[in-house]
Amino acid sequence: MERNSSIQKNIDKKRRKASGAAVFQESVTLALQRALFEEWAEVGYSSLKMERIASRAGVGKAALYRRWKSKKELVYDAMPSIAVTITEIPDTGSFEEDVRIFVHSLAVALRHPLVRRILPDMHAERVRSGELEDLITLVTKKRRDQATVILERAIARGDLLETIDVPIALDFFIANIYWSMIIQRRRLSKEAIDKISRAITISIRQAL
């Protein structure tokens, strides 16, 4: 009798565990993350409220707080999954072509309306409080790592001198397109992006 009681307790425990896990439906998680980014784009990080995010997603606050205890925790979990998607840059055998593909890939990511509003606010928040410092480092590191690979390929092929200033070269890769699209909010044509790409390659070759 005691053994049967113990078995039943284990069954009940497993049922409760399964029931709890079922609450974390992917569709609800995605709805909350989408609501986060939409709300963030409208009001800015400093004004984000967990209750507003839950309401926007059409779910109860309990569903939100079971997943994340704070907006910072939510942002740190959600941002890496969507932030400025990284597309693998093939080795074309040409420094100019590698840079062109990289810049076009970055431009595609920066065209997203939510990205165009959230990125400037992220950097502003970094200055105001430093709360998102680690997140910004993580997001930008992925792009810089990709650009580093392009530079290393070019050096290995003899397209660039080994003595180039790599940190400054990495800034060249991203700063021009970011300034044009995010700060100046320009809508760049394919031709304009190609010109920026050529300017980057010429600058790195001649100035560094």
Q: Please give the chain's pLDDT, 208 residues, in tens.
A: 444 444 444 434 444 444 444 447 899 999 999 999 999 999 999 999 999 999 999 999 999 999 999 999 999 999 876 655 567 788 999 999 999 999 999 999 899 999 899 999 999 998 888 888 888 888 888 889 999 999 999 999 999 999 999 999 999 999 999 999 999 999 999 999 999 999 999 999 987 7
Tokens at residue 121, please? 């606010």
Tokens 């009681």 sit on residue: 5
Buried b / exposed e over 138-164, threshold 16 CB at 10 Å, is: ebbeebbebbbebbebbbeeebbeeeb
Tokens at residue 91, please? 């080795």
Per-state percent for the chain, helix, strand, coil, to nearest 5:
80, 0, 20
Q: Is the pTM of this model over 0.75?
A: yes
Per DSSP, the three-state class of 80 is helix
**Fold of the domain built from segment(s) 86-207:** Tetracycline Repressor; domain 2 (1.10.357)
Tokens 């680690």 sit on residue: 134
CATH (one of 1.10.10.10, 1.10.10.60, 3.40.50.720, 2.30.30.30) for 26-70: 1.10.10.60
The residues spanned by each domain of the chain are: 26-70, 86-207
